[in-house]
Amino acid sequence: MGRFEGQCVLVTGGARGIGAACVEGLAREGARVLAADVLRDEGEQLAERLGDAVEFAHLDVTSEEDWKRAVGQAEAWSGPIDHLVNNAGILGYGTVEDIEPAAFRHIIDVNLIGTFLGMHFVIPSMRRAGGGAIVNVSSTAGMMGYAQIGAYVASKWGVRGLTKSAALETGRDGIRVMSVHPGPIATPMTDGLGGEVTSSQPIPRFGTTDEVAKLVAYLLADATFSTGSEFVVDGGALLGPVVDLSGLAEA
């Protein structure tokens, strides 16, 4: 028996990257997973590959109607939703001065409003399930600032704060809410970034989607006394760069 036997999990951005790794890992441990994404072809291919444990739902996380349909689809297929992984997100570049307001709003809509809508529409289903857990995928950009991606940073700080409010509101109903903060992870979103991004980290490489998925599964199943907390999976990036100070010690 897997840790998620008989449980229903909805994963957004589930067609590829971190989301697909979560879908696969949770299904492997017995969950029935609704893989929700705007990427229909990739999502349907994933569901076909993983078999009866996975079903695809087309979901634009900024659409209230899409969320209503996805929750209804999950409940018709597998009953009330036990767990939610709010993973869908986009990245856009531009300084605060240069980025177009419409582009800024779009990133906020997907990354932050999409996370809000997920909790707004799924929490009632989780109450019907008797409780559960929500993991909101933020970023190290939800813990510090980065130049050139201010909209992304703002959205991910927002996800971190919203997680804490939701945790306060739902804890006594048996619903835990946590945020995960990946650093540089090898996904389609980070294609094109070179090794210089990770070379100064204590663990000087990109993380894998499977490493994030394992943390998400642990939080959903086993972190039963944690809520409102943030969990970092970043190769030590937030610690700061590894700097060789041996020359100073010898001077």
CA distance 27 to 9: 9
CA distance 46 to 75: 20
Catalytic residue among 93, 146, 152, 218: 152
Residue with tokens 């997680």: 163
Contact 152, 203 (CB under 8 A): no
3-class state of residue 231 by DSSP? strand
Task: Provide the angle, in degrees to the nearest 10, between the axes of the packed helices 150-170 and 101-108.
Answer: 30
CA distance 226 to 219: 8
Give catalytic status of residue 152 as yes or no.
Answer: yes
3-class state of residue 212 by DSSP? helix
Residues carrying an active site annotation: 152
